[in-house]
Amino acid sequence: MAGHSKWANIEHRKARQDSKRSKIWSKCARALIVAAKNGGGDPATNLTLRYAIDEAKSENMPKDTITNAIKKGSGEGNTETYEGIIYEGYGPNGVAVLLEILTDNRNRTASEIRKIFERANGNLGTSGCVAYIFTAKGQIFIAKEHVDEETIMDLALEAGADDVSDEDEAWLVSCEPSDYIPVREAIKAAGIEIASAELTKIPDTTVTCVGSSAEKVLRLMDTLEDQDDVQKAYANFEIDEEELAKLEAG
């Protein structure tokens, strides 16, 4: 999510994810299976698999479960075949939505995603209708209590980061996807605690949502993220911290 306070939105999303842990693990397992099947089971030579392992670990997925998913993807007893698809559409208030899908039934998934958009007064769009708005980036959030600005700025930029910005209670380190692992590992090696780190897609333009519009957009995103085949959901809505607090209290 975009927002006046990206940190507040990160905290909001983490709270939602904590309540959906088993579903998130299922999505992580699917990503691991596909990555291992397409590029082999060695993360040293399969960068996509390494990303998938990192994400699974960040969600506290058990090590044995990660290993078993990789084995399935490498051909040990696996009969599942998943197809990667990008879906694009518009939500309430003209919010652009980009979805990364892994499905074993394209027709079923398309029908379900279309219905979710329609129920939210949105619509599933054509290929390319919103993808141009989003840029792939690595983002690393660090609580300010763990490091001062000069230290994280020097460390991150030297490791290859593009920028370090002030996000209220946290520093946000941004980088190109190719630099994500080196930057993150440099921060870890310095003994600095990372609050959140991910490869994501950032919108070039945003749509401000308030009141019922904000509520509808958040409900749409929750429903999409809860759909079994949706691996990642990106949108260009912007909700400020005060508005987000109202909705959570409401």
Domain CATH code at residue 44: 1.10.10.200
End-to-end CA distance of the chain: 20
* Residue 79 located in a structural domain: no
| Co-location of 208 and 110 in the same domain | yes
pLDDT, residue 58, reads 85
Asked whether residue 11 carries a pLDDT value surpassing 70, the answer given is no
**Angstrom distance (rounded) from CA 175 to CA 168:** 19
| Co-location of 128 and 208 in the same domain | yes
| Co-location of 152 and 198 in the same domain | yes
CATH number, position 148: 3.30.70.980
User: What residue has token string 């959901």?
Assistant: 233
Average pLDDT of 27-32? 94
* Residue 250 located in a structural domain: no
Asked whether residue 3 carries a pLDDT value surpassing 70, the answer given is no
Strands 163-167 and 134-143 come out as unpaired
| Co-location of 96 and 48 in the same domain | no
How confident is the model over 207-236, as pLDDT tens digits?
999 888 999 999 999 999 999 999 999 999
* Residue 64 located in a structural domain: yes
Asked whether residue 250 carries a pLDDT value surpassing 70, the answer given is no
CA 233 to chain centre: 7
pLDDT, residue 240, reads 80
| Co-location of 128 and 151 in the same domain | no
Q: Which of 150, 137, 140, 138 is nearest to 193 (CA)?
A: 140
* Residue 78 located in a structural domain: no
| Co-location of 21 and 48 in the same domain | yes
pLDDT, residue 117, reads 97
**Angstrom distance (rounded) from CA 42 to CA 82:** 20
| Co-location of 120 and 233 in the same domain | yes
Domain count, the chain: 3
* Residue 24 located in a structural domain: yes
**Contact criterion met (CB below 8 Å) for 157 and 207:** no
Q: Is 40 left (phi over 0), alpha (psi -120 to 50) or beta?
A: left
| Co-location of 11 and 95 in the same domain | no
By residue range, what is the domain housing residue 28? 6-73
pLDDT, residue 230, reads 96
* Residue 186 located in a structural domain: yes
Asked whether residue 6 carries a pLDDT value surpassing 80, the answer given is no
Confidence band of 241 (pLDDT split at 50, 70, 90): confident
| Co-location of 60 and 15 in the same domain | yes
* Residue 222 located in a structural domain: yes
Average pLDDT of 36-51? 94
Written as six digits, the tokens of 2 are: 């975009």
pLDDT, residue 77, reads 66
| Co-location of 98 and 157 in the same domain | no
Confidence band of 2 (pLDDT split at 50, 70, 90): very low
Asked whether residue 10 carries a pLDDT value surpassing 80, the answer given is no
User: What residue has token string 């209590």?
Assistant: 145
Burial class (CB in 10 A: 0-12, 13-18, 19+), 114: middle
| Co-location of 197 and 215 in the same domain | no
**Angstrom distance (rounded) from CA 108 to CA 117:** 15
| Co-location of 153 and 115 in the same domain | no
**Angstrom distance (rounded) from CA 112 to CA 28:** 21
